Structure 1
Amino acid sequence: MNESLESVKWGEFAIGEIFTITNSKPYHKNNLKLGKGKTPYVTRSSFNNGLEYIVENENFTLNPKDTISLGAENADFFYQGIEYITGNKMYCLSNGKINRYTGLFLTQTLKKSIENCGFGYGIGLTGTRLCNRKVLLPKDSNGNPHWEFMESFMRELEKKHLEKIIAYYKNKLVESIGGGGYFTAIWNPRNILEGSVFYEIEQEIKNIVPELARVSSGTQNVKKWEEILISTGDFTDCFFMECDYIEIMDKARYLGAWHSVNDIQAQAGEQRWKKILEMIESKISHLQTLEIPYKIRAWTARKSSKGGSRA
């Protein structure tokens, strides 16, 4: 997508028309098992994405993942990527178009829409008040919120930040090891064996998305790091080691890991990605824990005292 924040068309949208705003069932922290379990407890805090505690789920009424939480008295919006419960005077915004990227975009535009309006402790931003307000959003050629642009813009922004971070630490690494030191690159791909449930999952994914091109999948697509490191002119005497490793996960953690597999999600699209997640959940439904085999690989090379000698 070639559009920018400056070139894309913008329009005002009634918040109550593009979101479903629901009252979140309140839970008091005195009745919760704090510090246990995996369920986020979100309250009217302006910090840490609204998260106050992680609690044990005791058959709570959970707010859906991929929604936006709102605390009435602090008037702060936060994207919530997993199911959660809340404290008092909290609301949940949903519309089926929210994901990690559109959610982060929307939280900023929603915050901007109430800037300097006096909402906070004393004048709470209730669901009714929010419903009647308007928010400025990019709009598509049909005059609807431009969800594709919002997602694309945030993905590109994330990519640029990651490139800066990687470049920074790469430079720090080269500075720290100096001439004569050693550098180790570690790669721990899943060791997917034919006949295993993990192999079945991979095959089903290929059936659902035949055109899929993985950035990284299992033990395939491993670069020839010996050649890459030596070719830079910065390293010599590269040697390779590997070993097998088993990581034990419960179903929730395993499914959570799949939610972060962005290359498949981006290529599959919303409908096929949903089908993939449902397939994976079905494949492991009979298992209590999963023993996931990994192949840990390491390439170690000596930093050349003539580093930077490339032509």
Structure 2
Amino acid sequence: MDKELNQHKWQAFVLDEIFDIRATQSSIDKKNLVNLAGTIPYITRSDKNNGIDMFIGEQPNYKKDEGNVLTIGLDTQTIFYQPIPFYTGQNIQVIRHSRMNRYNASFLIVAIKILLQKFNWGGNGATLTRLKRSKVFLPITDQHEIDWEFMEDYMRRKETLLLKPAVEQLCKRLINKEISGGGKLLSSQWKPFSFTDVFTEIQRGKRLKKADHTEGSIPYVSSTALNNGVDGFIGNEGCVRKFEDCITIANSGSVGSVFFHQYEFVASDHVTQLKRKGLDKYAYLFMVPIINRLSEKYSFNREINDERIKREKILLPVNKEGDIDFAFMSSFMQEVEADILKTTLNVFKDRLNANENQMGGGKMEGIYTL
């Protein structure tokens, strides 16, 4: 605990006496979902991506939960802040309070995670009743009330410390892009090409049984559609196939999932490496969503085997000579990256300015102004 937290007064509170805790309103089994294309978060007990398993459309037979709450998966001990309305999978609990916001919610998450550690799969298993009876230690005012302002200000300061270096890095990257050139790109003609024309190396990874994995720090890329295809980290050196600076496509499992890897990794036999020597990351990134459309054609029961992938064709931009226009692809993605950086920078700047104003500082200038 840092000095500021240690100097503040704390007190134990029974969760059910200060929060509204209940099961979520939707609780939809994944197999019952409809309208799978949309922008509404579907929250599960996953410990990744803020608990978001996917984004879906309206579910006519279910009611959404309101945002500005904490969601908890008791058996997985996962807890996240949900700022907007959402649907959930099964066994998700919701914690509400009228004074909650994204800053003090971040503080609460850490405090509640500490009490969740006492739950286990033995005789002290996690239940909604036990959660409600549990006590959480929180900072208090001189009147022995929860100090919501302290929690919010503390997390604003922590966010500011994280955002300032990030803003500086974004500014530097954007400045470098402006110096190196830019401008709007011209349109390009498109033509179909077989995979063997596009890539100089097409090679499947090598089978490595889970029981043979050793502890290490090398990314292990398999057929998962999450985390850029990384299914864990291993230390195996022998009897494995390593790749880097390439695209992988899942042959089975999440068939058609495509990711770019600039780092060295071990590939399972469920993915195939697609590589062209001399190609930069931007051209690779341009092709990722195009190749990913193969997932519409294949399924778990129809895998992308070695022969099928060599027969596949993809549409790519071409130059005046009719050759693949890798330069256009690279420039296009650099423009996309610049747009994303500017949008991200503006969001970060707005948050920093809001934090500075809330804490009595002035508006940021200098390097933060483009």
User: In 2 relative to 1, CA 56–99 (structure 1 residues): closer, same or farther, beyond 3 Å?
Assistant: same
1:154 aligns with 2:155: yes
**Within-5 A mapping of 1:151-300:** 151-170=152-171, 176=176, 181=179
Give the CA deviation at 1:163.
Answer: 0.6
Q: What is the distance in 1 between the residues matched to 2:142 and 2:163?
A: 31
Q: Determine the structure 2 residue equivalent to 1:285.
A: none
**Within-5 A mapping of 1:45-60:** 45-59=46-60, 60=62
Larger Rg: 2
Q: Determine the structure 2 residue equivalent to 1:27.
A: 28
Say which is worse superposed, 102-111 or 58-67, in terms of deviation.
58-67
Q: Determine the structure 2 residue equivalent to 1:237.
A: none
Q: Deviations over 1:184-214 (max 9, x none)?
A: 8xxxxxxxxxxxxxxxxxxxxxxxxxxxxxx
Q: What is the distance in 2 between the residues matched to 1:100 and 1:84?
A: 16
- Consecutive unaligned residues of structure 1, counting only runs of 5 or more, are 185-257, 269-298, 301-311
Amino acid at match of 2:86: Y
User: In 2 relative to 1, CA 58–31 (structure 1 residues): closer, same or farther, beyond 3 Å?
Assistant: same
- Is the CA contact 2:15–2:132 (under 8 Å) kept in the aligned structure 1? yes
Give the CA deviation at 1:107.
Answer: 0.8
Amino acid at match of 1:78: F
- Is the CA contact 1:138–1:146 (under 8 Å) kept in the aligned structure 2? yes
Counterpart pick for 2:103 among 101, 104, 125: 101
Amino acid at match of 1:142: Q
Q: Determine the structure 2 residue equivalent to 1:202.
A: none
- Is the CA contact 2:41–2:52 (under 8 Å) kept in the aligned structure 1? yes
User: In 2 relative to 1, CA 120–79 (structure 1 residues): closer, same or farther, beyond 3 Å?
Assistant: farther
- Is the CA contact 2:68–2:102 (under 8 Å) kept in the aligned structure 1? yes
Q: What is the distance in 1 between the residues matched to 2:160 and 2:181?
A: 25
Q: What is the distance in 1 between the residues matched to 2:114 and 2:87?
A: 25
Q: What is the distance in 2 between the residues matched to 1:44 and 1:87?
A: 8
Give the CA deviation at 1:171.
Answer: 5.0
Q: Determine the structure 2 residue equivalent to 1:138.
A: 139
User: In 2 relative to 1, CA 37–141 (structure 1 residues): closer, same or farther, beyond 3 Å?
Assistant: same
Q: What is the distance in 2 between the residues matched to 1:157 and 1:183?
A: 36
- Is the CA contact 2:35–2:59 (under 8 Å) kept in the aligned structure 1? no
Amino acid at match of 2:54: Y
Give the CA deviation at 1:7.
Answer: 2.0
Q: Determine the structure 2 residue equivalent to 1:71.
A: 73
- Is the CA contact 2:35–2:58 (under 8 Å) kept in the aligned structure 1? no
Q: What is the distance in 2 between the residues matched to 1:19 and 1:85?
A: 21
Q: Determine the structure 2 residue equivalent to 1:11.
A: 11
Q: What is the distance in 1 between the residues matched to 2:32 and 2:356?
A: 40
User: In 2 relative to 1, CA 31–265 (structure 1 residues): closer, same or farther, beyond 3 Å?
Assistant: farther
What's the secondary structure of 1:4's corresponding residue? helix
Give TM-score, length-normalised by structure 1: 0.54
Give the CA deviation at 1:72.
Answer: 2.4
Amino acid at match of 2:139: P
Q: How many residues align?
A: 191
- Is the CA contact 2:119–2:126 (under 8 Å) kept in the aligned structure 1? no
Q: What is the distance in 2 between the residues matched to 1:162 and 1:265?
A: 11
Q: List structure 1 segments (4+ residues) > 6 angstroms apart after TM superposition.
A: 263-268
Give the CA deviation at 1:145.
Answer: 1.0
Task: Report sequence identity in percent.
Answer: 28
Q: What is the distance in 2 between the residues matched to 1:147 and 1:67?
A: 15
User: In 2 relative to 1, CA 261–121 (structure 1 residues): closer, same or farther, beyond 3 Å?
Assistant: farther
Q: Deviations over 1:146-175 (max 9, x none)?
A: 10011111111111111121233445666x
- Is the CA contact 1:72–1:125 (under 8 Å) kept in the aligned structure 2? yes
Q: Determine the structure 2 residue equivalent to 1:242.
A: none
Amino acid at match of 1:22: R
- Is the CA contact 1:74–1:121 (under 8 Å) kept in the aligned structure 2? no
Give the CA deviation at 1:183.
Answer: 7.7
1:88 aligns with 2:90: yes
- Is the CA contact 1:75–1:124 (under 8 Å) kept in the aligned structure 2? no
Q: What is the distance in 2 between the residues matched to 1:90 and 1:177?
A: 45
- Consecutive unaligned residues of structure 2, counting only runs of 5 or more, are 183-346, 359-368
Q: What is the distance in 1 between the residues matched to 2:74 and 2:177?
A: 51
Q: What is the distance in 2 between the residues matched to 1:74 and 1:99?
A: 24
What's the secondary structure of 1:37's corresponding residue? coil
